[in-house]
Structure 1
Amino acid sequence: MSKSNNSTIISLTDNGQQLASRLIKLGVATRHKHKPKPFAEQVQSLFSSGERLILICATGIAIRTLAPVLADKYTDPAVLVLDEHGRFVIPLLSGHEGGANEWAREVASVIEAQLVITSAQTYLKPTYIAGMGCERHCPKRVLRQLLEETLHQSNLTVNDLSGIASIDVKHDEVGLIELATELKLPFHTYSANILRTVEDQLTQKSEIVFKEVGCYGVAEAAALVDADNMARDNAIKPELLIPKHKNRQATCAVARIYQS
């Protein structure tokens, strides 16, 4: 997840402080304030300046603190509330217009928390895409084993996939073609230039890969690009669900996009 500009985490307890530090490292927000004083004035000031907020506290505290400075759903910044153990993520304010629902979904995915959306919304279903890279002539069995191991990280199976993607130099890679055929999935490939359009979302960038093929990563980038290409008008921006996994011969990552 790329870091959000103008976003601050507020924590009030020791457990909340630990969770906030973890969220900062994961790129969920850019700043963290622990037990700011005076509490209400600082939180209200940040909110009124347009700062997106993650409040690690009770929802009651959040509501009472922000009530005096609320304007409307079209101008108020997004506010999320998390419990101190990171079990639940609640988009409290500006769910649709301010993007809190999408932000909350990203945060919940990153920390494997339960997303709690209470606002009315169209039911959205996830679409999963596997991005794969490999050495030339990598056997199908090696690719499938890695794919299944990667999917298992999020309790998914090959039956949950909607496609497999890679870089265009792999358009004729027999193992990948056979794997997609076996699973009855489309196999799409993209140029290095197209894959570079999502490089800000990669969890790791490889200079070695860049020198070889012209982009900083194949598996993660291909999954994200292919998921985006499958998006319809009402879809939410694709996210990297499972970062790159690898064995001696191949790499694999999974992207997810929500749409009706």
Structure 2
Amino acid sequence: MIRIVALTEAGARLGQQLQAQLRDSELWVKPKPFADKVQGAFTDGDALILICATGIAVRTLAPVLVSKHDDPPVLVLDEAGRFVIPLLSGHEGGANEWGREVSNLLAAELVITTAQPYLQPVYSVGMGCERGCPEEHLRELLMACLEQAGLSLGNIQSINSIDIKTDEVGLITLAESLDKPFQTWNAETLNTVDHLLNSHSDYVFKTVGVYGVAESAALIGSSKATDREAELVLVKQKTAKATCAIARSYPALG
């Protein structure tokens, strides 16, 4: 359970915004008694978003801290929603990763005070196409997808597909012309990210053994680069001849 705690009216408005976007969350506005309520939620293992000064958060939680291996994650936000600070259990409890998700929701600045702050995401492209698809067609699709995702070619680490496309000339020449690695993955590897796909195609599965080439390949390309689970930032986009998706992952902290 996520407990969002606000102490001011401005904080309450920010809390309402977060509650609408976060599953299994509950907003507490000026709870009384404040310390008892917050300490109780923390002790019960609830993740906390405290919209207040860091000093208040520290003084409130200090009496109930156990260890970084046992304490739930805690984020502190200013009432304007400009900054997100993972306060407790940054590594072990996942507060750093969670803070990144919340900062993305708010378009806020993530302030990580643990080792290796401000990690840059690794973006990977996944593409599928019919046999003999021209490089020009693939390039146009890729550029349209990058624009839609708000990214540039400089953000992209690799172009990925299924192993039956190892000799696909259009994909090979596209990657070479963009100076990007072209990587292919077998169906067994691609199927490990089925649970992360936005869409599943039974037709594609019957044809090549995976439920989606572009999304799966993008996810695997990104996750293999960081050894971390990836997420889709642009779901499969389709033309008459090709598909394209974009995924990202973050390097491990610490």
TM category (shorter chain) comes to 0.7 to 0.9
CA distance in 1, matches of 2:83, 2:202: 37
Of 241, 244, 247, which aligns to 2:235?
244
Partner of 2:73: 78
Alpha-carbon distance between aligned partners in 1 of 2:47 and 2:247, rounded to the nearest angstrom: 25
Q: Which residue of 2 aligns with 1:3?
A: none
Extract unaligned runs of 5+ from structure 1.
1-6, 25-30
Deviation at 1:137, TM superposition (A): 2.9
Does residue 33 of the first structure (1) align with residue 26 of the second (2)?
Answer: yes
SS of alignment partner, residue 40 of structure 2: helix
- Aligned-partner SS, 1:230: helix
Tell me what 2:128 maps to: 133
Contact conserved, 2:51 with 2:76, CA < 8 A, in 1? yes
Residue 100 (structure 1) aligned with residue 95 (structure 2): yes
**Quick one: distance in 1 between partners of 2:118 and 2:17?**
33
Gapped regions of structure 2 (runs ≥ 5): 7-11
Q: How does 1:197-208 map to 2 (within 5 A)?
A: 197-208=192-203
| Matching of residue 63 in structure 1 with residue 55 in structure 2 | no
- Greater mean deviation of Cα atoms: 85-94 or 218-227: 85-94
> Is the 2:238–2:244 contact (alpha carbons within 8 Å) kept by the matching residues of 1?
no
Instruction: Report the CA distance between 1:215 and its aligned residue.
Output: 2.6
Give percent identity, aligned residues only: 53
Matched, 1:254 2:253: no
For 2:135 and 2:183, locate their aligned partners in 1 and report how far apart those are by CA, in whole Å. Answer: 17
Q: Higher mean Cα deviation, 146-155 or 182-191? A: 146-155
Contact 1:130 1:163 in 2 (8 A): yes
> Size of the alignment, in residue pairs?
244
Q: 1:99-122: per-residue Cα shift (whole Å, max 9, x none)?
A: 322332244345543211123437
CA radius of gyration, larger in: 2
Structure 1: how far apart are the matches of 2:78 and 2:207?
A: 45
**Change beyond 3 A, Cα 1:109–1:148:** farther
> In structure 1, what residue type is equivalent to 2:161?
S
Q: Counterpart of 1:27?
A: none
CA deviation after TM superposition for structure 1 residue 86, in Å: 4.7
Cα shift readout 1:74-125 (whole Å, capped 9, x = no counterpart)? 3222212344665432211121232322332244345543211123437744
Superposition map of 1:104-119 within 5 A: 104-109=99-104, 112-119=107-114
Deviates more, 1:206-215 or 1:180-189: 206-215
What code does the residue aligned with 1:23 have?
Answer: L
How far residue 40 of structure 1 moved from its aligned partner, in angstroms, is: 3.8
Post-superposition shift, 1:64?
3.9
The aligned residue for residue 9 of structure 2 is: none
Contact 1:167 1:189 in 2 (8 A): yes
**TM-score, with length taken from structure 2:** 0.80
| SS across alignment from 1:156 | coil
Quote the offset at 1:154 in angstroms: 4.7
User: How far did 1:179 drift?
Assistant: 0.8
Q: Distance in 2 between matches of 1:153 and 1:113?
A: 21
Structure 2 equivalent of residue 8 of structure 1: 2
Report if aligned partners of 1:11, 1:17 keep a CA contact under 8 Å in 2: no
- 1:164, CA displacement in angstroms? 0.6
Secondary structure at 1:35's aligned position in 2? strand
CA RMSD of aligned residues (A): 2.9
Distance 2:103 2:214 in 1: 23
